[in-house]
Amino acid sequence: MKRETAQSVLALMFDYGGKLNDAMLKVRETSDHEEFARYRRAFGNVLESAFEQIINPILEEHPDLKPDQLNLEARKSE
């Protein structure tokens, strides 16, 4: 994938992830614990799939595009 395309796709995917998180928080506001737990698992499955099938392959091809927030080693040393 061209670098410019990879940058655009990553930006959209991270925006998508943020919107999924917002949706999950909305569910939490009005749901009981069990219902929220079901939705949280579903949102987690969607995000896991997005990382495995879209984000991680892009970052393998273009490691320089990896955001600092995803660099666990850097976060551990802080």
State the pLDDT at residue 72. Answer: 60
Report, as an integer, the average pLDDT of 56-77.
80
Return the percentage of the chain with pLDDT > 70, whole number: 91
State the pLDDT at residue 11. Answer: 95
Q: Across all residues in the chain, what is the average pLDDT?
A: 90
Report, as an integer, the average pLDDT of 40-65.
95
Number of domains the chain is built from = 1
This prediction has a pTM of 0.78
Q: At what angle do helices 33-50 and 3-30 cross, to 10 degrees?
A: 180
Q: For residues 39 and 61, what is the distance between their CA atoms, to the nearest angstrom? A: 32
Report, as an integer, the average pLDDT of 15-32.
95
Asked whether residue 78 is domain-assigned, the answer is no
Asked whether residue 7 is domain-assigned, the answer is yes
Asked whether residue 76 is domain-assigned, the answer is no
